[in-house]
Amino acid sequence: MNHTKRFFNPEDDMDFLPIIPLNENEADDGEEITIPSELPILPLKNTVLFPSVVLPITVGRDKSIKAVVEAYKTDKMVGVVAQKDSSIEDPTAADLKSVGTIARIAKLIKMPDGGTTIIIQGKRRFKIQSITAEDPYFKGKIEVLTDEEEPKDQDFNAYVSNIKDLAMQIVNLSPNYPSEASIILKNIENPSFLIHYVSSNLSADLADKQELLELNDIRERADLLMQVLQRDLQFVELKNKVTTKTRNELDKQQRDYFLQQQLKSIKDELGGDTNDREIREMMKKAEQKKWTEAAKEMFKKGIEKLERIHPTTPDYSVIYNHLDLMLDLPWEEYTDDTYDLQRAKKVLDADHYGMDKIKERILEYLAVLKLKGDLKSPILCFVGPPGIGKTSLGKSIANSIGRKYVRLSLGGLHDESEIRGHRKTYIGAMPGRILQSIRKIQSSNPVMILDEIDKVGSDFRGDPSSALLEVLDPEQNHTFYDNYLELEYDLSKVLFIATANNIQNIQPALKDRLEIIDLSGYAIEEKVEIAKRHLVPKQKEAHGLKETPLRVGEKVLSKLIEEYTRESGVRELDRQLASIMRSLAKDYAMQGKIKPVLATEDVETILGKPKYNNELYKNANMPGVAIGLAWTYVGGDILFIEGATSEGKGELQLTGNLGNVMKESASTAFTYLQANARQLNIDPAVFNKKNIHIHVPEGAVPKDGPSAGITMLTSLASAFTGRKVRPYLGMTGEITLRGQVLPVGGIKEKILAAKRAGLKEIILCWQNEKDVEEIDPSFIKGLKFSYVKNMKQVLDLALA
């Protein structure tokens, strides 16, 4: 092996060597040594020797051994230089650095393995003038380099002090430095030797050390050394930080491991791990489930994942909750339907008065189910004004056929995920409300009420109406996909019943999937029966009067309905009855007794003067005023249309917050009146001399639609002819420019509104006669109907 190396390999982490110089001032005394002009040259691979520094060197190359042996026999002086490339095993003269250090061999030791170890001390820096021989070892002419005298100023002293401080910091921060290094540093007083000693033991690159050796100006050498030390200090600090962080992390991992092992041992002593027990319980429950193959496979994979991961990881709770949902859902678990049609009819009749059309449809469904044994549930939609019992009817249907009942309120719903569920990877993810309801009710064939389906919202989060398309399609809902469950679930056995007030607000594609059943408002007779059967007993019980002999007669109920309410349903009637019961409960509590029969006079005493009066229509009987019938989403209503003429140029003015269609109806009526003025005994010249103003009261309420056409024409004709409209007469119908009367919708609601308002005669298009025939004759008793085809017939009937 032909190379030289240090006892401490320069590639190791040991930067400072525990070698104490023989005499740190010896190099300064030039008279003590004689340096010849030609010296043996000793190349070193990874080391730069500095003056006054002592190094142990193991010599292995033949040339190097011969050089040190020859020098040791004579004056013991040798020139030590560094190789330019440390990877070259047999260097030539061109591979050697030109500047090195003259060293004195203090000791030569023959090693048992045949190698030679020498201890050398640097003396002076030198420069090779020329290589005089390469065999048997390198010899060369040299020039001794002299160092400048050490500056005595404060600036240089600060450099030296800084170098010592930086070196001490590196020693203290690095665990690889020997403790002797700091002792040596503290005891070095010679600035030049301090610079050489620190430079020799740097962990810097060979090029940096060589540059330090070649600098003649000691101040420049000190400045460069300080820069290298700063860089080394930063590296040591970073290394120390990383080492500490890694050690802390390893310590924490070991601590957690030991704690987990201890916890496991404790749990084993107490009877096993809680999580293992939960998993075993889940698997036991799963054996009893009637799952599809896809569901079985997903559950199996979920359990396998659960067993592999630690309970404290976030994924554990996600997988656990998902499996828990799968176990809670009633897969293919159905309640038995009751096919006793007579019993079902009794239940429906007992819970709701009237509604024969809906009851008939439900009984038809049960009959087919009884005969066939299987039928895809229809998607029913009850449309009608508020307060008529659409929602409660769904519960009655569930009771009549023996199914479980669940209600899902869709009013204000604006997030599609509420229907389909969220992806289970999201924080706080949940299944959709459809599956949540089925999970809660524990049946796969309940009666599910989708309440207020016309009030579903839509925004940037999605359109729930579109998500409902799959739910409410009998051809698709047997494979309903929930994003959280990530499986198909069969909803085909669920009896969905939607409720709505205004069918126009339902998305067309969704409306196409619904079997629309219109529910009109109640007649006065129906309200009286509902109050007697349901409302009065309910309010008596709610106010603690159930055991009292109090009785409310039909006359009192009729007075309440006609004079204190104006509605299609019975909610306001229920509130008025509650007010009466509260007053009676107060009297009973204070006096200890109560009247057995409620009189009509008591109603005014408790509720005050009537809110509505049918005399209004008699007092309003003046030319230009006609009564129209309107439909709103809360039921039918009546409205006045007032027409008045004034001096002007024949302009038409419309007020009362009218919509575009209603304005067009007024323009059509006015044009028809002008075109047929002579037939109606109106002077055509009057249209150029009079302005006409049409106003519909309650200007804050928006109004629109074509059904006020004949009413507007009647009002205009009355205003121009001065003939009054007959009292207690209402009308509804669309008109054309040719004077034809067209049919309109909402007839039952409008007729019931007219009946509530006390009208006695109604004019309708002849094509609406079929709608009147569907109404129970007892509800419209006392009303006279006139069916017309054109406006001439309307005016002949309407104008006195």
CA atoms within 13 A on the CB side of 662: 21
CA atoms within 13 A on the CB side of 351: 19
**Nearest Cα to Cα of residue 103 among 51, 32, 33:** 51
Rounded-to-integer distance, Cα 752 and Cα 561, Å: 12
Q: Enter the tokens of residue 17.
A: 């060597």
Rounded-to-integer distance, Cα 185 and Cα 10, Å: 20
Q: Can you say whether the dihedral through the CA atoms of 798, 727, 650, 661 is positive or negative?
A: negative
CA atoms within 13 A on the CB side of 182: 14
Q: Exactly one of 174, 707, 715, 718 is catalytic; which is it?
A: 707
Q: What angle do CA 52, 58, 62 make, to 5 degrees?
A: 115
Known active-site residue 786: no
Rounded-to-integer distance, Cα 446 and Cα 334, Å: 8
Angle in degrees, 0-180, between the axes of helices 314-328 and 433-441, rounded to the nearest 10: 60
Rounded-to-integer distance, Cα 673 and Cα 679, Å: 9
Known active-site residue 750: yes
According to DSSP, residue 686 is labeled G
Rounded-to-integer distance, Cα 543 and Cα 141, Å: 126
Rounded-to-integer distance, Cα 396 and Cα 417, Å: 30
Q: Is 444 within 8 Å of 478 (Cβ atoms)?
A: no
Q: Enter the tokens of residue 292.
A: 């599809």
If DSSP codes are grouped into helix, strand and coil, which group holds residue 691? strand
Rounded-to-integer distance, Cα 139 and Cα 715, Å: 134
Length of the chain: 800
Rounded-to-integer distance, Cα 401 and Cα 364, Å: 12
- The alpha helices in 174-313, defined as continuous H runs, are 179-187, 191-200, 206-214, 218-270, 274-286, 293-308
C-alpha 689, offset from chain centre:
67
Give the residue carrying structure tokens 């050490």: 150
If DSSP codes are grouped into helix, strand and coil, which group holds residue 55? strand
**Nearest Cα to Cα of residue 185 among 23, 17, 6:** 17
Rounded-to-integer distance, Cα 14 and Cα 466, Å: 74
Own/partner contacts of 363-371, CB < 8 Å, gap of 24 or more, are: 366/337, 366/339, 366/341, 366/401, 367/341, 369/337, 369/339, 370/339, 370/341
Q: Is 530 exposed, middle or buried (0-12, 13-18, 19+ CB in 10 A)?
A: buried
CA distances from 113 to 44, 110, 116, 117, 675 (A): 20, 9, 9, 11, 135
The residue type found at 152 is K
Q: Exactly one of 123, 359, 748, 750 is catalytic; which is it?
A: 750
According to DSSP, residue 703 is labeled B
Q: Is 113 exposed, middle or buried (0-12, 13-18, 19+ CB in 10 A)?
A: exposed
Beta strand 54-59 with 495-500 is: unpaired
Rounded-to-integer distance, Cα 36 and Cα 141, Å: 9
Q: Enter the tokens of residue 72.
A: 């040791």
Instruction: Give Dmax (Cα) for the chain.
Output: 155
The residue type found at 455 is K
**Nearest Cα to Cα of residue 725 among 598, 644, 624:** 624
Interacting residues of 746 by C-beta distance below 8 A, sequence separation 6+: 631, 636, 707
Q: Enter the tokens of residue 117.
A: 């170890």
Q: Which are the catalytic amino acids?
A: 707, 750
